[in-house]
Amino acid sequence: MMANCADSVRVAHPLFQAEGGGSIPTSALQLEFGAIDQKKAVDLNMQWHSRLPRFTDAMVREPAVAYGALYDGIYYATAIWTAPIARLLNGKNWMELRRMAIADDAPPNTASRMLGWMAKDIHRRFPQIVRLISYQDTEVHKGTIYRAAGWERTTESMVAGLGWNSNRSTSLATQSYNKMQSIAPKVRWERAI
């Protein structure tokens, strides 16, 4: 963890905000979005992700980009995009939102605003990419951020109780990794760019 980093320190919310939003953002419109170092994104994800904190540099597939949302030099959100993990989707010029994590004290609508901004930046940065995808864990999320950002709900994948790699030939390392992952059904959301 980054116990000694200034961006990991959170100030208690004051009862009344100072003019201009005070020391914490009161609106997602106040956040600055930008590409950040992948290691920084992984570290922030480990601090904030609601369900699946395990994400390492080794899990990145090119093309890849990581983003952060800041206010007054403090991070409030992060996201990591890579080529799709599902082998049937590779080669389709798609990118997958592998992890998105929002700090508890981030302003309302941070996630959906960040999704919109990232779609525009990915389109500019990777002109060959034609579609974005992300998977919602139905056990802990309702998909509200995707609906608010104009994404389309497409398919529900995986039967509850089975891991992503549930066949008998799966390696012991993969089986061990799957035990750390959610086994709830996932909904795939998509957005053409």
Q: Who's near 120: CB < 8 A, 6+ residues apart?
A: 193
For 121-161, how does the pLDDT look when each residue is reduced to its tens digit (9 = 90+)?
999 999 999 999 999 888 877 899 999 999 999 988 755 54
**Mean pLDDT to the nearest integer, 67-96:** 91
Assess whether pLDDT exceeds 50 at residue 27: yes
| Secondary structure in 3-state letters for 78-115 | EEEEECCCCHHHCCCCEEEEEEEEECCCCCCCHHHHHH
Cα separation, 46 vs 40, whole angstroms = 10
The tokens of 163 are what? 């891991």
Q: Band of the pLDDT at 165, cuts 50, 70, 90?
A: very low
Start-to-end CA distance of the chain, whole Å, equals 35
pLDDT of residue 158: 57
Q: For residues 76 and 90, give the distance between their C-alpha atoms in angstroms, rounded to a whole number.
A: 31
What integer best gives the mean pLDDT of the chain? 78
CA 29 to chain centre: 19
CATH number of the 26-192 domain: 3.40.630.30
pTM of the model: 0.74
Tens-digit pLDDT profile for residues 29-73: 999 999 999 889 988 988 887 665 455 555 556 678 999 999 999
Residue 105, phi then psi, degrees to nearest 5: -100, 15
In percent, the amount of the chain with pLDDT more than 90 equals 47
